[in-house]
Amino acid sequence: MMNFSFSEEQEMLRKMVRSFVDKEIIPNIGEWDANQHFERNIMKRMADLDLMGVCIPEEYGGSGMDYNSLAIVCEELERGDTAYRTAVSVHTGLNSMTLLQWGNEEQKQKYLVPQAKGEKVGAFGLTEPNAGSDVAALQTTAVKDGDDYILNGSKTWISLCDVADNFLVFAYTDKSKKHHGISCFIVERTMPGFSSKAIKGKLGIRAGNTGELFFDNVRVPKENLVGQEGEGFKIAMAALDNGRFTVAAGACGTIMACLEESVKYCHERRTFGKEIGKHQLVQQMIAKMEAGLQMSRLLVFKAGWLKNKGARNTRETSLAKWQACDFALQAANDAVQIHGAYGYSNEYPVERFLRNAKAPVIYEGTREIHTIMQGEYVLGYREDKPLSKMLPAWPYEASKQEIIH
Ligand SMILES: Cc1cc2nc3c(=O)[nH]c(=O)nc-3n(C[C@H](O)[C@H](O)[C@H](O)COP(=O)(O)OP(=O)(O)OC[C@H]3O[C@@H](n4cnc5c(N)ncnc54)[C@H](O)[C@@H]3O)c2cc1C
């Protein structure tokens, strides 16, 4: 049976995150954005509110809620600003959920539990100066040396680069095997030879922390290899199924914010003797935002429903991410249009929404990559094979952790 309603717990979660965003993010975000300031205290507050491990099982320090609850958190956070939703995307979506799916018990206890509790922050290092969409072009290497691997190379455009304690880092253990020669490691900030540097001057998400990671002979114990040697590409793609889900949900939050601000302005601003909301061409922009929001949410929550069932959802998540981010960028563009010249200044938040809405169309698979994926699925050129380890279904049952070989 189809059920489109949220549970009481999910409604309470939404209310709680909304109130937090209204009180602690929205009043300050204009200043943080203008100063390119990442407010670390917000991460601490999110940890206090148990928002750092919403869908991680209680056994592993999380709240044990379902995957659509994570989507609700992301929607509400991005209604305030993209920066803190991005933080949850990398911490929970790309890092913690990957440990839940692929990590062994020791790795879960050592890294997942403190991350889910919000005591430690996780991030995800895949992109390099010469490897974005083309992941196999990465150049970072991991060479076995006794009981350790020695990592050398660099990453760029990494969210939470100066903030995270632990990073999932992808490196070649055997370049000759191409995709099958990439491996995934947990790297701690405190490991000698690791350093990071923020990128300044970004178009948007200016209140977010994004930048470079450097590995200069970083010695990583073999216990920190996630999965098997050579499984890194598969792990990275599976991680993106979760990260993209959070990005898509966040895009719905951007549209919500655009609608709120635009509807308010439509009632305030008058031209030709009436509220601008009474002009049909303005109504058309509002109607398109509403349509984009409703369609995106259906795609997002369907992807979350598949995750809850423990089913493969790469195709549905890609579609949700592509469409929701495109709708959000269009909504932000129209929100500025509705505000006229005032929308072009930081007197109103819509110019920030427009600057913020561009990055999600680029990261976690560009619009073009998702378009190609969807075309290939429909034409029968792409098919998802079962993974050796699936994201656990919700509710979590340790005994049901399925291993398909
Ligand atoms: C704010 C921000 C935060 C980020 N955070 C992270 C993070 O935490 N971790 C991380 O690993 N990365 C992160 N990234 C990096 C992001 O994932 C990459 O930028 C993205 O994958 C695109 O790679 P690229 O920038 O190298 O573009 P490229 O891959 O060089 O693409 C350039 C252009 O060519 C197009 N293109 C490329 N290949 C094809 C093709 N086959 N067919 C058609 N068109 C194509 C692209 O769509 C794009 O328009 C972040 C980026 C930003 C902007």
Assign 405 a pLDDT band (cuts: 50, 70, 90): very low
Could you give the dihedral angle defined by the CA atoms of residues 308, 310, 315 and 317, in that order, rounded to the nearest 10 degrees? Answer: 30
- Contact by Cβ (8 Å): 228, 405: no
164-200 pLDDT, tens digit per residue, is 999 999 999 999 999 999 999 999 999 999 999 999 9
Q: Which atom of ligand 1 is nearest to the CA of 208?
A: 1
Q: Which atom of ligand 1 is nearest to the CA of 204?
A: 1
Q: Whose CA is nearest to atom 40 of ligand 1?
A: 369
CA 253 to ligand 1 center in whole angstroms: 22
Please give the average per-residue pLDDT across 251-269, as a whole number.
Answer: 99
Q: Whose CA is nearest to atom 53 of ligand 1?
A: 359
331-340 pLDDT, tens digit per residue, is 999 999 999 9
403 pLDDT above the threshold of 70: no
Please give the average per-residue pLDDT across 285-294, as a whole number.
Answer: 99
364 is catalytic: yes
Query: Taking all residues of the chain, what is their mean pLDDT, rounded to a whole number?
Result: 97
CA 364 to ligand 1 center in whole angstroms: 7
346 pLDDT above the threshold of 50: yes
Q: pTM score > 0.85 for this model?
A: yes
* SS3 category, 69: helix
Tokens of 167: 């990073």
Assign 205 a pLDDT band (cuts: 50, 70, 90): very high
Tokens of 112: 């997942």
Q: Following DSSP, what letter does each residue of 296-321 receive, concatenated?
A: HHHHHHHHHHHHHHT---HHHHHHHH
315 pLDDT above the threshold of 70: yes
With a 6 A CB cut-off, is 239 part of the ligand 1 pocket?
A: no
Q: Following DSSP, what letter does each residue of 183-250 receive, concatenated?
A: EEEEEETTSTTEEEEE----SS-TTS-EEEEEEEEEEEEGGGEESSTT-HHHHHHHHHHHHHHHHHHH
With a 6 A CB cut-off, is 159 part of the ligand 1 pocket?
A: yes
Tell me how far the alpha carbon of residue 244 is from its chain's centroid: 6
Please give the average per-residue pLDDT across 362-381, as a whole number.
Answer: 98
Which of 364, 376, 383, 402 is an active site residue?
A: 364
Share of the chain above pLDDT 70, in %: 99
Q: In the prediction, which pLDDT does 404 show?
A: 44
Assign 146 a pLDDT band (cuts: 50, 70, 90): very high
395 pLDDT above the threshold of 90: yes
* SS3 category, 42: helix
354 pLDDT above the threshold of 90: yes
257 pLDDT above the threshold of 60: yes
- Specify the pairing of strand 274-275 against strand 270-271: antiparallel
Q: In the prediction, which pLDDT does 402 show?
A: 52
Assign 385 a pLDDT band (cuts: 50, 70, 90): confident
Q: In the prediction, which pLDDT does 359 show?
A: 98
112 pLDDT above the threshold of 90: yes
With a 6 A CB cut-off, is 90 part of the ligand 1 pocket?
A: yes
Q: In the prediction, which pLDDT does 200 show?
A: 96
Q: Give the position of tokens 């974005």.
A: 132
